[in-house]
Amino acid sequence: MKEKVRFIGLDVHAETIAVAIAEPDGEVRSLGTIPNRSESLRKLVRKLGPAEKLRACYEAGPTGYVVYWQLTELGVPCEVVAPTLVPVKAGDRVKTDRRDAEKLARCYRSGDLTAVWVPDEGSEALRDLVRAREAAKQDQMRARHRLSKFLLRSGQRPPTGVRPWTRPYLIWIAQLRFTQIAQESTRQDYLHEVEHMRERVARLEQAITEAVKLASPALQQVINDLQALRGIADISAVTIAAELGQVSCFHSARQLMGYCGAVPSEDSSGKRTRRGGITKTGNAHLRRIVVEAAWSYRRPPCIWYGLRRRQESISEEAKEIAWKAQHRLHKRYMRLGAAGKDQRKIAVAIAHELLGFIWAIGARAETIVRHRVAA
């Protein structure tokens, strides 16, 4: 029964966990600090048990979901809550681990916390791999910038018609020679780093391809169907699916837009209505990939060879949604451009609506797999 349930608030850090408990009779007290180790959690559950009468929560953060999995294995229902949605008293300027744990226990008991979706270990592993590839792409861009700016400072220009970072461009750089030994060593080091980053990205992309083959049928179906959309190919689809985890956990497209942080901020009071830029409080990785895809909708709707190949194994319903997205988003892009809006703001506005089509395709794909399994 609910009145016998004890609510535990955990303020989790890399090495320690501050623990507080909210009793059924209304008392909220601190239980001190324990090491962030599985055996310490096991002792805590044994001390406060039985496990079925406990409910635990902690804030999402850099420690991941290890504590969630450990408590679940011990039989304790646990929730990971969104830290930005934890109630904060205006004027409360004292923040300690003990007070944070007590506040979590108190708010959890009163139902004032918002839980986030917790991926299983397979989904979390795929998301780690996708983010590793994203970091590698950023390192690759930095390495290219260092090399190109070095060539610019030294007065070296590629031959006419040679585009940057194509094979002829890299061959031209490899054939350059400097009279100064220091400059020649710099060229060799920068070029080696660019080649190393290229190989690293290729290696991670191959690992992603292999990991997708081992993913759940629902995740594979979402990845496959998302590629019907313009601007979303294989790696982009894997990134979106890995960051979302389970599309059906969002009950509407509007919830997904809020999770991505692509909704406008608002500061309205009385008759005054004031809206600002997007909140940017959601998943930054997801927001980046969707905004990148949104730029492709500045071009007129069409089905070119690459998109046609991607759509060969996709259902007609998903292709119909994607075709509708091309028409609607291109029309909106042109209308906002004609109104003189900034191009970056237009891309964000298109990404906002693109998330709606992503939700429609993803939720439908998961529903198909569930019905297939049930049958």
Q: Where are the domains of the chain?
A: 6-110, 121-214, 217-374
Q: What is the pLDDT of residue 85?
A: 83
- Output the six-digit token pair for 233: 């190919």
The pLDDT-based confidence of 159 (bands split at 50, 70, 90) is very high
pTM of the complete model: 0.87
CA-to-CA distance for 165 and 171, rounded, in angstroms?
10
Q: Write the burial class of residue 115 (CB in 10 Å: 0-12 exposed, 13-18 middle, 19+ buried).
A: middle
What kind and span of H or E run contains 147?
A: helix 121-153
* Greatest extent of the chain over all pairs of C-alpha atoms, in Å: 82
- Helix/strand/coil percentages in the chain, nearest 5: 60, 10, 30
Q: What is the pLDDT of residue 277?
A: 84
Kindly give, in sequence order, each residue whose CB lies less than 8 Å from that of residue 316, ignoring residues fewer than 6 positions away. none
Amino acid code (one letter) for 260: C
Q: Give the single-character DSSP code of 283.
A: -
Whether domain 6-110 has CATH 1.10.10.10: no
Q: What pLDDT, in 10s, does the model give residues 268-315?
A: 888 888 888 888 877 889 999 999 999 999 999 999 999 999 999 898
CA-to-CA distance for 17 and 32, rounded, in angstroms?
9
Q: Are 234 and 210 in contact (CB under 8 A)?
A: no
Beta strands in the chain (DSSP E): 6-12, 16-22, 28-35, 54-59, 78-81, 264-266, 275-278
% of the chain exceeding 90 in pLDDT: 79
CA-to-CA distance for 6 and 2, rounded, in angstroms?
9
Assess whether pLDDT exceeds 50 at residue 336: yes
Could you count the other beta carbons within 10 Å of the beta carbon of residue 206?
10
